[in-house]
Amino acid sequence: MTVLLLLLFIFVLAIFLGRELIQKVPSQLHTPLMSGTNAISGIAIVGAIASTAVGGTFSTVLAFIAVVLASINVFGGYLVTDRMLGMFRAGKRED
């Protein structure tokens, strides 16, 4: 019970923190920022990895698919964000 409440406290603080971190973003960064936060939401991969520890064939299949999906999110998400931001950099280099 205590642990749960502490986790809840952590959740609440992180929500407020997430709210504060994003402010006044220039519009050309909206898409990269969306993509970058999407990559972070790939943190589900941690859950997916942990769920491979459960045992049972069907559960393992589910866990495997979870790992596949989450790693698509993580790898794809970070790389695509980087590519996008690289484009901006390329445009900026000339000034």
Binding positions for its own copies, rule: CB under 8 A: 2-3, 6-7, 9-10, 13-14, 16-17, 20-21
Listed residue (62, 38, 37) closest to 48, CA to CA = 62
Q: Give least dist CB 3 to its own copies, A.
A: 6
Of 1 and 53, nearer to its own copies (C-beta) is 1
Q: How far is the CB of 2 from other proteins (least distance, A)?
A: 7
Total Cβ atoms within 10 A of residue 56? 9
C-beta of 57: minimal distance to other proteins in Å? 10
Look-up: residue for tokens 């999110």? 73
Phi, psi at 39, each rounded to 5°: -60, -40
